[in-house]
Structure 1
């Protein structure tokens, strides 16, 4: 029976910056609960009778918190007055008299789910909890064979890069009585030699060599977090959030850091090729240090890839940078189709916008004649068309756009054609990039982040034969609007044209397969798509899309885009999913089918 736990809480946690200026690291707050109190509550629930807590930096603050738990559990406080010049080995040394029988040893910077302690075996043996080491983790890690530790290491030595299947320790250990006796002796020996600024894992490493065995219990990484800096704290706030879905919706990106699969944002998982990535990795130091050229200087390299005159091109920090300045160069009424990309609605004023609805009853196909009539009635100065559209995935036929262009010749309407997803379509050749001179009132906008798989770099461009409009755009955009990584990507891009085309074809195949598999789910209405995302509607008002998306996130760690914020009838029952890899797409379909089937069965029971 494990009756006690030793918590090492002496350090300041200087890497947490302002968070620990006025309080010790264990009192760092994670969604309303401190690291220390999270540990105490979980240990009390586990059945521990005594807590031995080594304090140091601002010890009085921790002791004040501990008073609230004195009636619930026996608490022993030990003050490490040398906390600023010693390491965790010395803190454990100060608590050495309590190293007896079976003892839990826990670091004071671990925030964890109570489920973890259920994995602590009650048998008389040494045990450590560990998770697969990933790129976001650092500190002590181990190697193992048959669930037994074969070596103790640290990421500081970079040895993990050359080791297969390293496991990050949670810094939660169960020590047998025999190991406690050994550790106590080694602690006293180390302190007598003034080795007070090292880690206690040094002793565990020696114990392993001298015949002690450590078993491993593997833990899901989303059940715990070692909080050493602001980065860790940020991850913790998501992992232990009571409303994770709402948090993701408010972030609009950065999801890769969390233990989820993102089917909301739009990617090309087959480009760039590894060769191009490696070139950028090799040049990382220079790209980070040095200023990039002005975008006007290297636009010629994008020009060669697109086969568009550089005099007709503008490069931007994502197409959203261009969208934001449109109201400053376009006056008068602007016709926007809906549902569509919300950023266009956000940038123009309500007084400027004329809405034209594309209806589900028409399978979200564009009513060309109705749109032309709306443009003429409003004497609109601009029209925005997204092809394929977002979120419907519907392509607007090029011939229809040309008809609209010709019908609006007299009133001179500029037509903004957003082709951000066109390369994912089987009709990618319907671009206007090759006919800009023929249609000078057309402005092609394109985000490269999606189809080129470079969301983190952020690139986009505008292309038009309208020199005045292009000059006006340039006047609104900073001279250094593109970072060095984006410049390097564009400089290397022309030689990878074939690889890019091949990657888009593969995305098309995988998306078509995903559409077919989703269409087999009878509770969904699945719309055909010309992009790599798919619009779905939950039939019979079974459940609203926000609640459904939340179920997928909580139960399957899958994030999808619920469309209640889109301007469309019954928007609260629509959601959009993007295609990832074939394997991930299968897991998505399985999760959606399971959750929607469960909802349907629950409704039948109620009826």
Structure 2
């Protein structure tokens, strides 16, 4: 539907001189592909659809590539080129000043690294003020220029997140697409731009002119809210990835995110797929790590032997029993190269199945609906298949059900009688109870090995920390031989060194997660259309009772509510396509996901 008051703006100017060094610089930045199409092609098509008849391209880096790609007409729109002589040593204020003779009528001014839908242009053109700037809600990860907006919707200040920490709550992120009216251009904007550049401001941003305008108060700059419109500013490769997601087709979005395996914080979604402790590390520990940052980045970290001593102070296990790793996945992969004839208790963490796919792997299935572990049955099946080791996860992923400590120790004893190893993944054990771990039994059970990811319980997925603990000297030495001396980065080392001083805060954070999880479980049980397994970890497994599959519900949660959960279809379990796993986060986040799930399941099938 057309916007009330919409008046087409028939001219645009795009500042596309940049080299895009942070993207690679192989092509002009504006020709960087988003969703398989160059940014500039998308933008020109959107301008044409919004009524623009002429676009001025200010070009610099590899300008011939742009001219060849676009030509003199594109999407039935005239294209004019203005070359910038010093594009590699100036900024966009200079680029716009070079093209100032084109600022002679109502015009869109935009940077060549912004991707958007045409609704943004239509909404801007409908603003009757002297100038209007597209703005959006300020979300985590956004930086650069923001606009402080008053109650009437006018911009009262432009400021940079790089210069100020105390960004006002009323601030909005600028989209870097503006509409400037002819009278304002003639009487204020162009003269002020001239003053800025001739006074030596060649390396400044033209937004400084808009900032001066709002301070002087002679002309008004309207903030046009575009939060609900797709847009993205592309500065580096991470932005390209995020923009690919934003402008992907609906059917491609869930597979796109699943293929990333993380980094979901860059997207406007609620991540209930990955499992972390949202209450750790505390701010004081983060500040100490920040204080260590220079040394952590520039100095070589400790080697594995010294790191084992740091870890021993955290987990209370002798250093000679430990192997520190770059996440549990590194250890799982190493075991996959070392061990053969391994029986995996399934369902379980898929990394184990992937690691042992090359060897003689066997499955010991947990029976639904309880998915309870039976020690004697496990040993019987492992013996029948002539396995040499058994892997069990406790609490299990994805069921969130823990194996009682006494059952694990019984299995360990029975397997020892058959000359078999027991490998227990305890990545989520802290969320269960303090006395459910078997780490303290290593010396009395030489065939026992414990693997633990520290990312989940300690809330440091970005550090990639994990460890293996065993009194089996032969196995430990073989694992160490698979790993490099420096497999842990300096920041992870600093974290391990500081961690013992925060034991009380850690236990308090675990208690909060357990409390939130119990409430989450109680509330999920009230949602119609699901059966909920009582959890021992920081996530919950749900079985769908209707005709919808886990894939369908997962897609609906993402598309309608921006909530990402785990579709368990690829898990080794009966009726896997009927299960979804939802991670427990803060109470407020849990309430949101319950409301979203209720809304999706209440929709007529």
With normalisation by structure 2, the TM-score equals 0.91
Residues 313/44 of structure 1: CA separation in 2 closer, same or farther (3 Å cut)? same
- Indicate the residue corresponding to 1:565 in structure 2: 570
Please give the alpha-carbon distance, in whole angstroms, between the structure 2 residues aligned to 1:194 and 1:371: 77
Matched, 1:175 2:180: yes
> Is 1:110–1:224's contact at 8 Å kept on the other side of the alignment?
yes
Please give the alpha-carbon distance, in whole angstroms, between the structure 2 residues aligned to 1:108 and 1:301: 49
> Is 1:302–1:494's contact at 8 Å kept on the other side of the alignment?
no
Q: How far did residue 76 of structure 1 move?
A: 4.0
Matched, 1:99 2:103: yes
Aligned length: 592
Residues 222/305 of structure 1: CA separation in 2 closer, same or farther (3 Å cut)? farther
Once the two structures are superposed, what CA deviation does each residue of 1:527-554 show, in whole Å capped at 9, x if it has no partner?
11111111112213x2222232122222
Please give the alpha-carbon distance, in whole angstroms, between the structure 2 residues aligned to 1:82 and 1:479: 47
Residues 475/80 of structure 1: CA separation in 2 closer, same or farther (3 Å cut)? closer
Greater alpha carbon shift after TM alignment, 207-216 vs 455-464: 207-216
- Indicate the residue corresponding to 1:202 in structure 2: 208
Q: How far did residue 65 of structure 1 move?
A: 4.2
- Indicate the residue corresponding to 2:4 in structure 1: none
Of the three residues 458, 479, 484, the one matched with 2:485 is: 479
Of the three residues 494, 519, 533, the one matched with 1:513 is: 519
- Indicate the residue corresponding to 1:113 in structure 2: 117
Residues 172/366 of structure 1: CA separation in 2 closer, same or farther (3 Å cut)? same
- Indicate the residue corresponding to 2:315 in structure 1: 306
Residues 14/373 of structure 1: CA separation in 2 closer, same or farther (3 Å cut)? closer
Please give the alpha-carbon distance, in whole angstroms, between the structure 2 residues aligned to 1:188 and 1:471: 70
Residues 477/214 of structure 1: CA separation in 2 closer, same or farther (3 Å cut)? same
Question: How do 1:526-565 and structure 2 match up within 5 A?
Answer: 526-540=532-546, 542-565=547-570
Of the three residues 340, 346, 359, the one matched with 2:354 is: 346
Residues 222/288 of structure 1: CA separation in 2 closer, same or farther (3 Å cut)? farther
Once the two structures are superposed, what CA deviation does each residue of 1:38-97 show, in whole Å capped at 9, x if it has no partner?
222222222333333333444444344444855733444444455455543344345444
Of the three residues 248, 260, 263, the one matched with 2:269 is: 260
Of the three residues 500, 510, 516, the one matched with 1:504 is: 510
Matched, 1:43 2:47: yes
Matched, 1:424 2:428: no
Please give the alpha-carbon distance, in whole angstroms, between the structure 2 residues aligned to 1:139 and 1:278: 23
Q: How far did residue 405 of structure 1 move?
A: 2.6
> Is 2:156–2:215's contact at 8 Å kept on the other side of the alignment?
no
Please give the alpha-carbon distance, in whole angstroms, between the structure 1 residues aligned to 2:397 and 2:114: 42
Of the three residues 138, 141, 152, the one matched with 1:136 is: 141
> Structure 1: 5+ residue runs without aligned partners?
none
With normalisation by structure 1, the TM-score equals 0.91
- Indicate the residue corresponding to 1:247 in structure 2: 256
Please give the alpha-carbon distance, in whole angstroms, between the structure 2 residues aligned to 1:71 and 1:346: 49
Please give the alpha-carbon distance, in whole angstroms, between the structure 2 residues aligned to 1:188 and 1:483: 49
Secondary structure of residue in 1 paired with 2:417: coil
Secondary structure of residue in 2 paired with 1:231: helix
Question: How do 1:29-108 and structure 2 match up within 5 A?
Answer: 29-67=33-71, 69-70=73-74, 72-80=76-84, 83-84=87-88, 86-108=90-112
Please give the alpha-carbon distance, in whole angstroms, between the structure 2 residues aligned to 1:409 and 1:7: 75
> Structure 2: 5+ residue runs without aligned partners?
1-6
Q: How far did residue 200 of structure 1 move?
A: 2.2
Secondary structure of residue in 1 paired with 2:570: coil
- Indicate the residue corresponding to 2:30 in structure 1: 26
Of the three residues 399, 409, 427, the one matched with 1:402 is: 409
Of the three residues 343, 362, 366, the one matched with 1:358 is: 366
Q: How far did residue 467 of structure 1 move?
A: 2.4
> Is 1:141–1:153's contact at 8 Å kept on the other side of the alignment?
yes
Question: How do 1:372-387 and structure 2 match up within 5 A?
Answer: 372-387=379-394
> Is 1:384–1:416's contact at 8 Å kept on the other side of the alignment?
yes
